[in-house]
Amino acid sequence: MCGIVGYTGSQEATPIIIEGLRRLEYRGYDSAGVCTLSGGTAATRRSQGKLINLERLIQEKPLSGSTGIGHTRWATHGRPSETNAHPHQAGPIIVVHNGIIENYLALKEQLRKKGHTFLSETDTEIISHLIEEHYLQSGNFEQAVRAGLQELRGAFAVCILCEKEPGTLIAAKQGSPMVVGLGEGEYFVASDIPAILSHTREMVFMEDGELVLFRDGAAVFSTVAGAPLVKKPRHIDWSPMMAEKGGFKHFMLKEIYEQPRAIRDTIAGRLREEEGTVYLEELRLTDKQLKAVERISIIACGTSWHAALVGKFLIEEHCRIPVEVDIASEFRYRNPVVNDRTLMLLISQSGETADTLAALREGKSRGAKNIAICNVVDSSIAREANGVIYTHAGPEIGVASTKAFVTQLTALYLLTVKLGRVRGTIDRLRGQEMLAALVRAPAFLEEALTLDEEVEQVARRYMNARDFLYLGRGINYPIALEGALKLKEISYIHAEGYPAGEMKHGPIALIDDQMPVVVLAPHTSSYEKTVSNMEEVIARGGGSLRSARWGMARSPTRRRLCWRSPSTTSGSRRSSCRCRFSSSPIISPS
Ligand code: F6R
Q: Tell me if 407 CB under 6 Å of ligand 1.
A: no
pLDDT computed for residue 550 by the predictor: 32
Residue nearest to atom 16 of ligand 1 (CA): 348
Q: Is the pLDDT of residue 100 over 80?
A: yes
Candidate of 259, 304, 397 to mutate for ligand 1, largest count of ligand atoms within 8 Å of Cβ: 304
- Where residue 116 falls among pLDDT bands split at 50, 70, 90? very high
The angle at the Cα of 179, spanning 158 to 440, to the nearest 5 degrees, equals: 70
Sheet holding 323-327, edge to edge: 323-327, 295-300, 342-348, 369-374, 387-390
- The reply to whether 326 and 417 lie within a common domain is yes
pLDDT computed for residue 283 by the predictor: 92
Q: Is the pLDDT of residue 576 over 60?
A: no
Q: Is the pLDDT of residue 2 over 60?
A: yes
Closest CA to 356 of 338, 373, 335, 337: 373
- The reply to whether 376 and 438 lie within a common domain is yes
Q: Which of 244, 263, 281 is the last residue of a domain?
A: 244
d(CA 468, CA 242): 32
Torsion over CA: 556, 558, 564, 567 (sign): negative
Query: Is this prediction's pTM over 0.85?
Result: no
- The reply to whether 338 and 365 lie within a common domain is yes
- CA-486 nearest atom, ligand 1: 7
d(CA 434, CA 57): 49
DSSP code per residue over 186-233: -EEEESSGGGTTTT-SEEEEPPTTEEEEEETTEEEEEETTS-B-----
pLDDT computed for residue 547 by the predictor: 52
**Secondary structure element (H or E) that encloses residue 419, with its range:** helix 403-423
According to DSSP, residue 175 is labeled B
Q: What is the mean pLDDT of residues 457-478?
A: 93
Q: What is the mean pLDDT of residues 124-131?
A: 96
| Domain CATH number, residue 319 | 3.40.50.10490
Q: What is the mean pLDDT of residues 187-214?
A: 93
Tens digits of residue pLDDT in 133-156 = 999 999 999 999 999 999 999 889
Number of folded domains that form the chain: 3
CA of 230 to the centre of ligand 1 (A): 46
Q: Tell me if 408 CB under 6 Å of ligand 1.
A: no
Residue 121: inside a domain: yes
Contacts of 541 (CB under 8 A, 6+ apart): 511, 512, 513
Residue 23: inside a domain: yes
Q: What is the mean pLDDT of residues 187-215?
A: 93
* Average pLDDT score, the chain: 88
> Beta strand pairing status for 323-327 and 295-300?
parallel
The torsion angles phi and psi of 135, rounded to 5 degrees, stand at -65, -40
pLDDT computed for residue 334 by the predictor: 86
Share of the chain above pLDDT 70, in %: 92
- CA-356 nearest atom, ligand 1: 16
Q: Is the pLDDT of residue 551 over 80?
A: no
- Where residue 239 falls among pLDDT bands split at 50, 70, 90? confident
- The reply to whether 155 and 263 lie within a common domain is no
Helix (H, G, I), strand (E, B) or coil at 313: helix
Q: Please state which of the ranges 237-251, 384-398, 560-574 shows the lowest mean pLDDT.
A: 560-574
Q: Is the pLDDT of residue 313 over 60?
A: yes
- The reply to whether 434 and 488 lie within a common domain is no
The torsion angles phi and psi of 574, rounded to 5 degrees, stand at -60, -50
d(CA 57, CA 232): 39
Q: Is the pLDDT of residue 587 over 80?
A: no
> Beta strand pairing status for 169-174 and 210-215?
antiparallel
Contact 133, 110 (CB under 8 A): no
Residue nearest to atom 5 of ligand 1 (CA): 302
CA of 132 to the centre of ligand 1 (A): 43
Q: Tell me if 67 CB under 6 Å of ligand 1.
A: no
Closest CA to 511 of 476, 576, 565, 465: 465
- The reply to whether 260 and 237 lie within a common domain is no
Q: What is the mean pLDDT of residues 246-272?
A: 92
Type of residue numbered 94: I
CA of 460 to the centre of ligand 1 (A): 27
Q: Please state which of the ranges 34-38, 316-320, 332-336, 562-566 shows the lowest mean pLDDT.
A: 562-566
- The reply to whether 419 and 398 lie within a common domain is yes
Q: Which domain holds residue 300?
A: 255-442
Q: Tell me if 301 CB under 6 Å of ligand 1.
A: yes
Candidate of 329, 330, 347, 353 to mutate for ligand 1, largest count of ligand atoms within 8 Å of Cβ: 353
Q: Tell me if 400 CB under 6 Å of ligand 1.
A: yes
Q: What is the mean pLDDT of residues 240-250?
A: 78
More confident residue, 391 or 354: 391
Contact 522, 474 (CB under 8 A): no
Residue 166: inside a domain: yes
d(CA 237, CA 347): 41
Residue 249: inside a domain: no
Q: Tell me if 302 CB under 6 Å of ligand 1.
A: yes
Side-chain half-sphere of 549: how many Cα atoms within 13 Å? 0
Q: Which of 244, 265, 283 is the last residue of a domain?
A: 244
Contact 104, 407 (CB under 8 A): no
Closest CA to 260 of 410, 376, 138, 151: 410
- Where residue 557 falls among pLDDT bands split at 50, 70, 90? very low
- The reply to whether 270 and 185 lie within a common domain is no
Residue 574: inside a domain: yes
More confident residue, 333 or 455: 455
CA of 303 to the centre of ligand 1 (A): 5
pLDDT computed for residue 356 by the predictor: 95
Other beta carbons less than 10 A from residue 106's beta carbon: 14
CA of 500 to the centre of ligand 1 (A): 25
Q: Is the pLDDT of residue 585 over 80?
A: no
- The reply to whether 199 and 295 lie within a common domain is no
pLDDT computed for residue 564 by the predictor: 29
Q: What is the mean pLDDT of residues 209-224?
A: 96
E-assigned strand segments in 238-361: 271-272, 277-278, 295-300, 323-327, 342-348
- The reply to whether 227 and 355 lie within a common domain is no
Q: Which of 414, 442, 470 is the last residue of a domain?
A: 442
Q: Is the pLDDT of residue 428 over 50?
A: yes
Q: Is the pLDDT of residue 60 over 50?
A: yes
Helix (H, G, I), strand (E, B) or coil at 281: coil
More confident residue, 239 or 213: 213
Residue 454: inside a domain: no
d(CA 504, CA 21): 56
pLDDT computed for residue 102 by the predictor: 87
d(CA 387, CA 444): 31
- The reply to whether 390 and 364 lie within a common domain is yes
Share of the chain above pLDDT 90, in %: 71
Residue 49: inside a domain: yes
Helix (H, G, I), strand (E, B) or coil at 238: coil
d(CA 132, CA 145): 9
CA of 259 to the centre of ligand 1 (A): 17
Omega before 87 within 30 of 0, i.e. cis: yes
If phi > 0 it is left, if psi is from -120 to 50 it is alpha, else beta; for residue 196 that is alpha
Residue nearest to atom 13 of ligand 1 (CA): 348
| Domain CATH number, residue 33 | 3.60.20.10
Residue 430: burial class (beta carbons within 10 Å; 0-12, 13-18, 19+): middle
Tens digits of residue pLDDT in 278-289 = 999 899 999 999
CA of 2 to the centre of ligand 1 (A): 22
- The reply to whether 67 and 178 lie within a common domain is yes
Distances in Å between the Cα of 298 and the Cα atoms of 321, 356, 359, 360, 438 are: 12, 10, 10, 10, 22
Q: What is the mean pLDDT of residues 237-241?
A: 73
d(CA 35, CA 57): 13
Q: Please state which of the ranges 403-417, 547-561, 575-589 shows the lowest mean pLDDT.
A: 575-589
- Where residue 40 falls among pLDDT bands split at 50, 70, 90? confident
CA of 187 to the centre of ligand 1 (A): 41
Sheet holding 467-472, edge to edge: 494-499, 467-472, 517-519
Q: Tell me if 38 CB under 6 Å of ligand 1.
A: no
Q: Is the pLDDT of residue 586 over 70?
A: no
Residue 455: inside a domain: no
